[in-house]
């Protein structure tokens, strides 16, 4: 039986605080030819995402933890090399959740064929995949945006954040982004049509800066970040504000629970709604989301941006860079 040499990145140890290269190990394995119902794929693009940090911890969380010695899981785009199932042919481009490996043997039912003529194939990892769906349902279902409301997005130059802001603009909202560099701020206002954007790293008093650019207060907050940025946003909430808690990247790497102002007082005073979510909560509605996102994309109303690292051996570095805020939009690795 022919065998294929594949590389894969496994979790060597659980990070304490910020992950380092030592938490990962690259292994080489031999993959047999696919059995019935199995597909042998060659990875083209891998996704690296902030939520993966959560799965590297042992603690109970919103996604189950990775196992030590197991492949780091996540979304990927691949090409079929050899197929044990009639519905896939060699050369088909597919997406799946097989994680950080150059090749994988995957049950056919875990793969989805994608049509690269509809959108760039990496869109299935981003705008038309988990990223876009997270932005779509987290904003629309939890926050019910209304025209002329003020929407603030943290982590605004990340893949989810920039999609949230653009959707809010499409829906007629006033949109303010918070990001971590002047380049990102300029990108959000010049290229994506955000009304305002703030570089929190060069802003002395974020509370004051937000009050300045949100003179009518904040109706909706889409939170990718947490920590002091969220504290500042909560100080300008309007009555009836809605807050979608999508990520807390500022806190993922802390070894101790972080301390800050108690936010329930603001929740009470402003009769606010705060909701944490995970995109799988909306699985039954994915087709609705993909359809709307694809329509906006083809109408030119919704752009997406990727930062692509070149080479499978760059995967760990690309992941570690997420926590320094280096990426603009979706971080992807071209294998």
C-alpha span between 221 and 243 (Å, rounded): 5
Phi-psi sector, 334: left (phi>0), alpha (psi -120 to 50), beta: beta
Q: Which of 42, 92, 189, 277 binds its own copies (CB under 8 A)?
A: 277
What residues are paired with 157 via a beta bridge? none
What residues are paired with 63 via a beta bridge? none
Q: Which of 104, 153, 188, 272 binds its own copies (CB under 8 A)?
A: 272
Q: Please tell me whether residue 226 binds its own copies under the rule CB under 8 A.
A: yes
Q: Please tell me whether residue 206 binds its own copies under the rule CB under 8 A.
A: no
Q: Please tell me whether residue 247 binds its own copies under the rule CB under 8 A.
A: yes
Q: Please tell me whether residue 246 binds its own copies under the rule CB under 8 A.
A: yes
Residues 6+ apart with CB under 8 A from 255: 16, 17
Would you state the structure tokens that stand for residue 80, as one six-digit string? 């079929």
| Contact status, residue 93 vs residue 44, Cβ threshold 8 Å | yes
DSSP code for 298: H
Considering beta carbons, is residue 96 or 155 the nearer one to its own copies?
A: 155
| Contact status, residue 176 vs residue 152, Cβ threshold 8 Å | yes
Q: Please tell me whether residue 230 binds its own copies under the rule CB under 8 A.
A: yes
Pairing mode, if any, of strands 93-96 and 76-83? antiparallel
Q: Please tell me whether residue 261 binds its own copies under the rule CB under 8 A.
A: yes
C-alpha span between 150 and 211 (Å, rounded): 12
Q: Closest separation between CB of residue 200 and its own copies, Å?
A: 17
Number of C-beta neighbours around residue 264 at 10 A: 9
Q: Please tell me whether residue 270 binds its own copies under the rule CB under 8 A.
A: yes
Q: Please tell me whether residue 251 binds its own copies under the rule CB under 8 A.
A: yes
Considering only residues 109 to 138 of the shown chain, the ones binding its own copies according to CB under 8 A are none
Q: Please tell me whether residue 273 binds its own copies under the rule CB under 8 A.
A: yes
C-alpha span between 122 and 320 (Å, rounded): 21
Q: Closest separation between CB of residue 73 and its own copies, Å?
A: 18
Considering only residues 304 to 323 of the shown chain, the ones binding its own copies according to CB under 8 A are none
Provide the angle, in degrees to the nearest 10, between the axes of the packed helices 159-170 and 286-298: 70
Q: Phi and psi for 239 in degrees, rounded to 5?
A: -55, 135
| Contact status, residue 292 vs residue 136, Cβ threshold 8 Å | yes
Would you state the structure tokens that stand for residue 268, as one six-digit string? 């009470």
Q: Please tell me whether residue 281 binds its own copies under the rule CB under 8 A.
A: yes
Q: Which of 2, 60, 204, 287 binds its own copies (CB under 8 A)?
A: 60
Q: Which of 263, 294, 308, 326 binds its own copies (CB under 8 A)?
A: 263
Q: Closest separation between CB of residue 264 and its own copies, Å?
A: 5
What residues are paired with 176 via a beta bridge? 152, 196
**Which span sits near its own copies by CB under 8 A: 56-64, 71-79, 154-162, 303-311?**
56-64
C-alpha span between 228 and 260 (Å, rounded): 7
Considering beta carbons, is residue 87 or 205 the nearer one to its own copies?
A: 205
For its own copies (CB under 8 A), the number of binding residues is: 36
Q: Closest separation between CB of residue 247 and its own copies, Å?
A: 7
Q: Closest separation between CB of residue 242 and its own copies, Å?
A: 10
**Which span sits near its own copies by CB under 8 A: 6-14, 191-199, 251-259, 297-305?**
251-259
Q: Phi and psi for 64 in degrees, rounded to 5?
A: -65, 150
Q: Please tell me whether residue 30 binds its own copies under the rule CB under 8 A.
A: no
Considering beta carbons, is residue 277 or 323 the nearer one to its own copies?
A: 277
Give the interface with its own copies as residue ranges (CB under 8 A): 54, 60-62, 223, 226-227, 230, 239, 245-248, 251, 257-265, 267-278, 281
């Amino acid at each position: 039986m022919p065998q294929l040499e594949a590389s894969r990145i496994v979790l060597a140890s659980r990070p304490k605080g910020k992950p380092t290269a030592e938490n990962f190990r690259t292994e080489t394995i031999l993959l047999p030819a696919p059995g019935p119902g199995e597909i042998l794929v060659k990875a083209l693009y891998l996704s690296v995402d902030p939520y993966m940090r959560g799965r590297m911890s042992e603690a109970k969380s919103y996604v189950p933890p990775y196992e030590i010695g197991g492949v780091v899981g996540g979304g990927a785009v691949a090409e079929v090399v050899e197929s044990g199932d009639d519905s896939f042919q060699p050369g088909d481009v597919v997406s799946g959740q097989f994680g950080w490996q150059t090749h994988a043997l995957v049950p056919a039912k875990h793969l989805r064929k994608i049509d690269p003529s509809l959108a760039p194939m990496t869109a299935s990892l981003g705008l038309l995949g988990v990223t876009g769906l997270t932005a779509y349902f987290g904003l629309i279902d939890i926050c019910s945006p209304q025209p002329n409301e003020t929407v603030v997005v943290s982590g605004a130059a990340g893949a989810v954040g920039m999609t949230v802001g653009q959707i809010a603009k499409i829906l007629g909202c006033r949109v303010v982004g918070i990001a971590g560099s002047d380049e990102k701020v300029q990108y959000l206002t010049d290229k994506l049509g955000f009304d305002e954007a703030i570089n929190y790293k060069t802003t002395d008093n974020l509370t004051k800066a937000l009050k300045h650019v949100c003179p009518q207060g904040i109706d909706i907050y889409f939170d990718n970040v947490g920590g002091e940025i969220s504290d500042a946003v909560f100080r300008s909430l309007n009555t009836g504000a809605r807050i979608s808690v999508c990520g807390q990247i500022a806190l993922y790497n802390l070894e101790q629970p972080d301390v800050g102002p108690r936010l329930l007082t603001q929740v009470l005073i402003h009769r606010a709604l705060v909701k944490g979510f995970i995109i799988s909560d909306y699985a039954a509605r994915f087709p609705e989301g993909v359809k709307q996102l694809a329509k906006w994309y083809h109408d030119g109303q919704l752009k997406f941006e990727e930062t692509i690292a070149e080479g499978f051996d760059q995967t760990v570095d690309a992941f570690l860079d997420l926590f320094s805020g280096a990426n603009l939009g979706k971080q992807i690795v071209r294998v």
